[in-house]
Structure 1
Amino acid sequence: MTTTAESARPAGSARTPKLRADASRNRERIVLAARDAFVEHGADTALDEIAKRAGVGNATLYRNFPDRVALIHEVAVLVKNRVLALAETATAEADTPDGDGPFDALQRFAHASVEEKVGGLCALFSNHVDPYDPELTDIRKRLQAAVGGLMERARVAGELRPDVESGDLFIALSQLTRPLPNTSCRLHDGFVHRHLQIFLDGLRAPAASVLPGRAATFEDFQPEN
């Protein structure tokens, strides 16, 4: 947001880029602090506490986000965009001729994605974010294409078992990043990557068993009409 003071400065003012960079960093710090606070304490976390975590004043938080709904929406956008960026990076790595294969790229994506703590935010997004928001819908479609394409590359290469889909992966990422009841988040985090690797090993071809039921698809996560 451009303040009156900023708009009054000459276009070539040396201070303007620095202020804009500072404002951008403050905004990101607020959103990341909100993400962590919402995972730990839920949607009712005091905004003052989030500002304190972010290392900014209350006025800075409210200047960027007039209310809780706006902040939660921005957390959803940030987290989903960061997961999308990870998927697109993994896809680019999988397409590199001298890379180590699409399944390894898929594993790197999965391990990096759990750091975004999506499972701990599922209830927050479901209850407080418009699922039909155009920006989030676009991110969701791009994420579906990126992860689905990455898994298809691994499947064609004979590295991924044929009876799994992107929905199976997202269920695992969601469940593994959901804080366990009556335990500290720190204790839970210590086991996430270990248990994720156990799951990923189960995705490798050839399959060691026949899976019951059907594969979960990305469409299973879409909002109901």
Structure 2
Amino acid sequence: MKSKLSATDEAPLRADAARNRERILEAAEALFLERGAEASLDDIAKRAKVGIGTLYRRFPTRDALLAATSDERLLSLAEASRARDEKLEPSASIRAFVKELVNHASHYRGLAALLGTVLEEDTPGCRAGREEGRRLLQRAQKAGAVRKDVSFDDIVCMVTAISLSIEHGGSSKPRVAHLVDIFLDGIFTTSAT
């Protein structure tokens, strides 16, 4: 008896389907960079030289497509965070992660507003980003550095707010750092600041 694939398992793609998927991702990356996260899915399909049905078979929603284009950046972000774990105190680790997540959410104009739903997608990068954020938060809470009533969803709301502010007011590394510091000061316990 054959077992059914779960939502997170994917059957290997035929060679032509794999090429179509890659072309869709390349076209989406280019158009999202040019026009922002609200770029037309029809235009993405046209640039990829596939039909809109092919795009929707691979990526049933805009969020799924944004998650797929974000996958490698989110995987790298989570990996970098884990790599510096031994070097940084819990409050510094979460601060660095939030700054990187803000920079990621600012990669495409309009991504910040969709970040929460994109992070809920079931791609390896989205899972890694969520898991790392939750791990860092729990680590900081366990160390007494972050208030116990703060959730990962609260962190995502902070990142979204900062990213939207940067998107509308111009971005610079000092501005990102300043806004992250202001927001994080609100969740740190007095002993962590």
TM-score, normalisation: structure 1: 0.54
Q: What is the distance in 1 between the residues matched to 2:181 and 2:27?
A: 31
Alpha-carbon distance in 2 for matches of 1:201, 1:112: 17
Q: 1:32 to 1:44 in 2, by over 3 A?
A: closer
Indicate conservation of the 8 Å contact 1:159/1:204, yes or no.
Answer: yes
CA distance in 2, matches of 1:76, 1:141: 10
Q: Which amino acid aligns with 1:162?
A: K
Q: Are positions 1:187 and 2:180 aligned together? A: no
- Is residue 148–residue 166 contact of structure 1 (8 Å, CA) maintained in 2? yes
Deviation at 1:173, TM superposition (A): 0.9
Please tell me the root mean square deviation across aligned C-alpha atoms, in Å. 3.9
Unaligned segments of structure 1, at least 5 residues: 4-19, 52-57, 209-225
Which segment is superposed worse, 111-120 or 188-197?
A: 188-197
Match 1:202 to one of 175, 186, 189: 186
Change (3 A) 1:163 1:116: same
The superposition leaves residues 46-85 of structure 1 with CA deviations (integer Å, 9 ceiling, x where unpaired) of 72xx69xxxxxx65x2259844785633322232553354
CA distance in 2, matches of 1:119, 1:165: 19
C-alpha distance in 1 between matches for 2:176 and 2:72: 22
Q: What are the equivalent positions in structure 2 for 1:158-173 lying under 5 Å apart?
A: 158-173=144-159
Inter-partner Cα distance in structure 1 for 2:71 and 2:135: 17
Give how far 1:179 is off: 6.2
Deviation of residue 148 (structure 1)? Answer: 1.4
SS at match of 1:35: helix
Residue 33 of structure 1: aligned partner = 30
What is the CA distance between 1:202 and its match in structure 2? 2.1
The answer to whether residue 49 in structure 2 is matched with residue 62 in structure 1 is yes
State the distance in 1 between where 2:179 and 2:58 align: 34
- Matched position secondary structure for 2:171: helix
* Bigger Rg, structure 1 or 2: 1
C-alpha distance in structure 2 between counterparts of 1:102 and 1:28, whole Å: 35
Could you tell me how far apart the structure 2 residues matched to 1:206 and 1:166 are? 20
Higher relative contact order (CA 8 A, sep 6+): 2
Pick from 143, 152, 160: which aligns with 1:174? Answer: 160
One-letter code of the match for 2:94?
A: L
Structure 1 position 108 matched with structure 2 position 96: yes
Distance apart, 1:163 and its partner CA: 2.7
| Structure 1 residue identity aligned to 2:49 | Y
1:120 and 2:113 matched: yes
State the 1:169 CA deviation: 0.5
Note if contact 2:95-2:180 (Cα within 8 Å) is conserved in structure 1: no
**Kept in 2: contact 1:27–1:64 (CA 8 A):** no
Could you tell me the percent identity over the aligned residues?
20
Corresponding letter in the other structure for 2:98: A
- 1:160–1:203 CA contact under 8 A, matched in 2: yes
Between Structure 1 and Structure 2, how many residues are aligned? Answer: 163
Q: Assess, with a 3 A threshold, how the Cα gap between structure 1 residues 31 and 64 changes in structure 2: closer, same or farther.
A: farther
The equivalent of 1:155 in structure 2 is: 141
Give me the whole-angstrom Cα distance separating, in 2, the residues matched to 1:69 and 1:43: 18
Aligned partner of residue 160 in structure 1, secondary structure: coil
Query: What is the distance in 2 between the residues matched to 1:44 and 1:113?
Result: 25
- Corresponding residue SS for 1:161: coil
Q: Could you list the runs of 5+ residues in structure 2 that have no partner in the other structure?
A: 1-13, 106-110
